[in-house]
C-alpha cells in the first residue's frame, strides 16, 4: 500500500526528520489561503498522487504570488496526471500540498528497501539526488552508497555516520544527517514499510537538512497490526479492479489484455499468462484465488474479473492440492448462475477430486469449455476469444 507525500512527511517528522512547512488544499481558494498562512515569497504547489516524476508531468509548480498558487491549483485539481509510472490512464489529482519554498544548496538521495535476497533492510544513498535511483545508477554508479542492517541489532549510529560521511557532507552537517538517517530507519521499521525514499534530501543555503520529497510503501500483510497506516489508504489512487479484489481478500493485478484469468497459486498464474501469450492472446489480469477456495470465493473471483470491461473470455486453471476441484466446479456453476457470464468460459481442472469436479461441470447444463492440459486450455481460450471478436466484426 502506498501513501501520499504529505502523509509520509508527517510520519518522518514524528521521528525528528526535518521537513519544509506545508499544508493540504482541496481547492484553489484553500491553496491560496495555505500560501498566505505559510508566509514568505515563494511556494511550491504539489499534486498528491501515488507516483514519482510529477514535476515532468506538470504536477509540481513553483509560485511567487498567491494568485499563481490559485492558478496552479486550478490547473491541477480534477485532472488526471500522467507520468511514466502511472501508465496512460494516469492518476486523479484530488488534493494538493502547498509547501514553503527553500533555497537549495545540494540535493541528496536516501532510500530504505527490503533486500529479500539478503533478508535485510538495505539503505541506499547518493550525493546525486533529484533524479530517480535508476538514473543515478546509470549515470553516476560510483556515487551510490549501500549498507545493510542486521535484524538482530537494528541500525547503529556508526552506520548512519558512515553513510553521512560517504555523502561528502560538511562536518557541521554530519550530526544532522545521522539523526535524519536514524529517524528515517525508525519510521521504516516501526510501521512495517517495504520502501521509504527521500528524494531529494536537500541541504539548504542556511545549513538545514530537509526531506523535500518522500515516498512510502507498506507491507499489506502487516496492515492488520497497523490501523493508523491503514487509515491513510487512498483508494482513488488505486486501480479500481485491484481495489475491488483486495477488499475481498483476492490477490489481483490488472493488466491490459482481454482474457481474464482465475488461477490458484502464483507460479501457476504466471505460467498460465505465459501460455496465453504463446497462444497469441493477452491476459487481462493476474488473479490467485489462494489455496482454500470455497465456492463463494470462486464466485467472488469471477466478479472481480468481470469488473474489467475489457475482458472478453475467461480461463479458469486450477491444480488442486489444498483446494478441491469439486469446490471450484461448484463455484464456477454458482458464478454462471448468479453473476451471469455471457462470454466464453474455459475451465481446466487437475488434482484432488478432479473427476467429481468435471462431473459437476458436465451435468450443470451450463456452457463451459473443458480442457485437460494448460496448453490446451490456453489454446481454447484464445480461439474462443478470437471467435467472439470475429463475430463482433
> Strand 259-263 to strand 313-320: parallel, antiparallel, or no bridges (unpaired)?
parallel
Distance CA 314, CA 306 (A): 9
Residue 264 marked as a ligand binder:
yes
CA–CA dist 159, 153 (Å, integer): 12
107 annotated as ligand-binding: yes
Question: Residues with catalytic annotation?
Answer: 109, 197
What are the phi and psi torsion angles at 111 (to 5°)?
A: -140, 150
- CA gyration radius, the chain: 25
- Rounded Cα–Cα distance for residues 393 and 389 (Å): 6
- The total number of residues shown for the chain amounts to 393
- Reduce the DSSP state of residue 308 to 3 states and report it: coil
Q: Is 2 annotated as a binding residue?
A: no
Q: Is residue 366 marked as binding?
A: no
Is the Cβ–Cβ distance between 266 and 372 less than 8 Å? no
Is 199 within 8 Å of 213 (Cβ atoms)?
yes
Residues 314, 253: Cα–Cα separation, whole Å: 15
Q: In what side-by-side order are the strands of the sheet with 22-25?
A: 22-25, 96-100, 43-47, 60-63
93 is in an annotated binding site: no
Distance CA(382)–CA(213), nearest Å, equals 45
The span from the CA of 35 to the CA of 74, in Å, is: 15
State the CB neighbour count (10 A cutoff) for residue 179: 18
Rounded Cα gap, residues 134 and 144, in angstroms: 11
Residue 356 annotated as part of some ligand binding site = no
CA distance 111 to 386: 46
Q: Are 14 and 228 in contact (CB under 8 A)?
A: no
Query: What is the DSSP pairing of strand 80-81 with strand 91-92?
Result: antiparallel
Residue 380 assigned to a binding site: no
Q: Which residues define the annotated binding site?
A: 46, 99, 102, 107, 199, 213, 264
- Residues annotated in a binding site for substrate: 264
- Which residues are known binding-site members for ATP? 46, 99, 102, 107
Amino acid at each position: 500500500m502506498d501513501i501520499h507525500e504529505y502523509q509520509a512527511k508527517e510520519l518522518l517528522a514524528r521521528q525528528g526528520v526535518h521537513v519544509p512547512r506545508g499544508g493540504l488544499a482541496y481547492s484553489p481558494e484553500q491553496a491560496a489561503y495555505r500560501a498566505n498562512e505559510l508566509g514568505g515569497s515563494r511556494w511550491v504547489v504539489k499534486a498528491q498522487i501515488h507516483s514519482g516524476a510529477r514535476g515532468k508531468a506538470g504536477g509540481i509548480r513553483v509560485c511567487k504570488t498567491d494568485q499563481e498558487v490559485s492558478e496552479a491549483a486550478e490547473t491541477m485539481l480534477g485532472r488526471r496526471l500522467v507520468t511514466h509510472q502511472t501508465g496512460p490512464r494516469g492518476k486523479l489529482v484530488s488534493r494538493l500540498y502547498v509547501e514553503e519554498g527553500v533555497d537549495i544548496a545540494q540535493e541528496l538521495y536516501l532510500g530504505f528497501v527490503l533486500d529479500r535476497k539478503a533478508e535485510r533492510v538495505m539503505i541506499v544513498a547518493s550525493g546525486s539526488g533529484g533524479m530517480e535511483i535508476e538514473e543515478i545508477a546509470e549515470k553516476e554508479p560510483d556515487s551510490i552508497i549501500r549498507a545493510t542492517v542486521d535484524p538482530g541489532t537494528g541500525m547503529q549510529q556508526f552506520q548512519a555516520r558512515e553513510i553521512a560521511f560517504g555523502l561528502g557532507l560538511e562536518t557541521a552537517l554530519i550530526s544532522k544527517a545521522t539523526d535524519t538517517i536514524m529517524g528515517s530507519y525508525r519510521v521504516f521499521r516501526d510501521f512495517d514499510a517495504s520502501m521509504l525514499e527521500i528524494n531529494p534530501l536537500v541541504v539548504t543555503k542556511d545549513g538545514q537538512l530537509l526531506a523535500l520529497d518522500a515516498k512510502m510503501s507498506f507491507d499489506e500483510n502487516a496492515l492488520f497490526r497497523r490501523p493508523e497506516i491503514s487509515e491513510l489508504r487512498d483508494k482513488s489512487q488505486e486501480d479500481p479492479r485491484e481495489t475491488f479484489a483486495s477488499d475481498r481478500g483476492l490477490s489481483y493485478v490488472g493488466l491490459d489484455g482481454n482474457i481474464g484469468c482465475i488461477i490458484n497459486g502464483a507460479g501457476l498464474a504466471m505460467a498460465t499468462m505465459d501460455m496465453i501469450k504463446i497462444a497469441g492472446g493477452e491476459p487481462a489480469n493476474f488473479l490467485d484465488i489462494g489455496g482454500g477456495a470455497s465456492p463463494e470465493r470462486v464466485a467472488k473471483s469471477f466478479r472481480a474479473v468481470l469488473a474489467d470491461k475489457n475482458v472478453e473470455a475467461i480461463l479458469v486453471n486450477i491444480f488442486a492440492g489444498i483446494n478441491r476441484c469439486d469446490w471450484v466446479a461448484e463455484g464456477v456453476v454458482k458464478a454462471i448462475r448468479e453473476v451471469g457470464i455471457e462470454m466464453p468460459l474455459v475451465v481446466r481442472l487437475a488434482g484432488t477430486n478432479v473427476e467429481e469436479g468435471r462431473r459437476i461441470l458436465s451435468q450443470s447444463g451450463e456452457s463451459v469449455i473443458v480442457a485437460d492440459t494448460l496448453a490446451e486450455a490456453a489454446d481454447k481460450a484464445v480461439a474462443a476469444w478470437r471467435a467472439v471478436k470475429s463475430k463482433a466484426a
